Structure formats: structure tokens, C-alpha cells
């Protein structure tokens, strides 16, 4: 059985678990080893545009590749916010690097409630704003805003996992990319 070593550019268990689940789906004949490491994103703690969020995911993946060069894949996942269509949307970018190619994909987006928007406008990170509004602790390492707002119909790991799969498209269709 082929062994694939994947490094997630985060110690967040949600990001590690969703990456492991996605890689196991995409490479079912392989043994997937996933490790999380802390690396800087090079962007604000709360990215406020689509472009900044993508840059954070890319920076994380590339920083992880320099720290653990023996891995096969490096994954950066960055949650962000953008103000579009008179609302504030939350989403995340996934950026995956290997020695030969790159892949990226964005999650679906969803509108944030006005009370959370107000806190974010005051400079408070989404995860902290969620904890304040919903009287929780460390929700970003649990079900996150998406889990809270969907009443756990979609938790944070389930939300990220399809984007990890989509970011792997260039790796499983190498003849096309």
C-alpha cells in the first residue's frame, strides 16, 4: 500500500480531520498520514477580502512545505470574510502544494448575522465574535460559525472537506493540468 504524507499548515483539529477525510476519499488505495504544524499565514488574523484569504492559504501551504520538505502534500486552509452584495460573507480557501503542482478551491459562502458583522467591523476575529455572540468557547476548533448558524446541519469539518477534494483535482487529473 502506498503511503502519502500530508502536512496541514495548522494545528486546528478541524482542519487536520477534514484534510484526512478528503485525502482518504481521493486516494482510497493509499495509507494517508496527516500531520498538523503551525506556520504563519502572512495575512491578517481575520482576512477581510477574497484575495487576502487566498493569499493566506497559499502562504500557509508554502511555509509548511519549507518546514517539512519530506511530505508529499502541504495543505493551507484559510477562513476569510468579504463584503459583497450589501452583506458580509464568510468562506475559506484551500490551497494544496506538491513538488510538481498546485491546486486550490474555495468553500461555499454564507452571510453572517448583523451582530457578528458589527463585531468584525470593530476588528474582532470571526471565531471570537462567534464565541461572544453565542456564549461559547473556542468554537473555531469545533463546529465554527457554519455549524452554529446551521444548527450543526453542516459542521466546520464537513464544510471544508469538499473544498479539499476540489483542490485535489489537478493532482488526480495530471494529464489535464
Q: pLDDT, tens digit, for every residue of 74-127?
A: 999 999 999 998 899 999 999 999 999 999 999 999 999 999 999 999 999 998
Over range 3-10, report the average pLDDT: 98
DSSP 21-80: HHHHHH-TTEEEEEEE-----SS-SS--SHHHHHHHHHHHHHHHHHHSTT-SEEEEEEEE
Q: What DSSP state is assigned to residue 139?
A: G
**pLDDT of the residue at 141:** 64
CA distance 70 to 110: 37
Q: Which residues pair with 81 in a beta bridge?
A: 90
Domain boundaries, the chain: 2-111+154-172
Only one residue has cell 473556542, namely 138
Q: pLDDT, tens digit, for every residue of 119-177?
A: 999 999 998 998 899 888 766 667 889 999 999 999 989 999 999 999 999 999 999 99
Over range 59-64, report the average pLDDT: 98
CA distance 52 to 7: 22
Residue 24, pLDDT > 80, answer yes
- When pLDDT is cut at 50, 70 and 90, the band that residue 23 belongs to is very high
- When pLDDT is cut at 50, 70 and 90, the band that residue 19 belongs to is very high
Whether 72 and 5 have beta carbons less than 8 Å apart is answered as yes
Over range 7-33, report the average pLDDT: 97
CA distance 21 to 80: 22
CA distances from 57 to 15, 23, 52, 114, 118 (A): 12, 18, 9, 26, 25
- Binding-site positions for substrate read 70-71
- Binding-site positions for Mg(2+) read 70
Q: C-alpha cell of 24? A: 482518504
Q: What DSSP state is assigned to residue 141?
A: G
Domain spanning 2-111+154-172, CATH class: alpha beta
Element (H, E) at 127: helix 126-134
**pLDDT of the residue at 140:** 66
Amino acid at each position: 500500500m502506498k503511503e502519502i504524507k500530508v502536512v496541514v499548515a495548522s494545528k486546528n483539529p478541524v482542519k487536520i480531520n477534514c484534510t484526512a477525510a478528503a485525502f482518504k476519499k481521493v486516494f482510497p488505495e493509499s495509507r494517508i498520514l496527516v500531520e498538523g504544524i503551525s506556520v504563519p499565514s502572512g495575512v491578517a488574523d481575520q482576512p477581510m477580502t477574497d484575495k487576502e484569504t487566498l493569499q493566506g492559504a497559499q502562504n500557509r501551504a508554502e511555509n509548511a512545505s519549507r518546514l517539512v520538505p519530506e511530505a508529499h502534500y502541504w495543505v493551507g486552509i484559510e477562513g476569510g470574510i468579504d463584503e459583497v452584495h450589501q452583506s458580509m460573507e464568510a468562506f475559506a480557501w484551500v490551497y494544496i502544494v506538491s513538488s510538481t503542482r498546485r491546486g486550490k478551491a474555495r468553500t461555499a459562502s454564507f452571510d453572517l448575522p448583523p451582530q457578528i458583522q458589527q463585531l468584525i467591523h470593530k476588528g474582532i476575529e470571526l471565531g471570537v465574535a462567534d464565541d461572544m455572540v453565542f456564549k461559547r468557547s473556542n468554537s473555531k476548533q469545533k463546529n465554527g460559525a457554519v455549524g452554529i448558524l446551521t444548527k450543526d446541519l453542516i459542521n466546520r469539518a464537513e464544510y471544508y472537506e469538499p473544498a479539499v477534494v476540489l483542490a485535489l483535482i489537478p493532482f488526480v487529473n495530471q494529464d489535464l493540468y
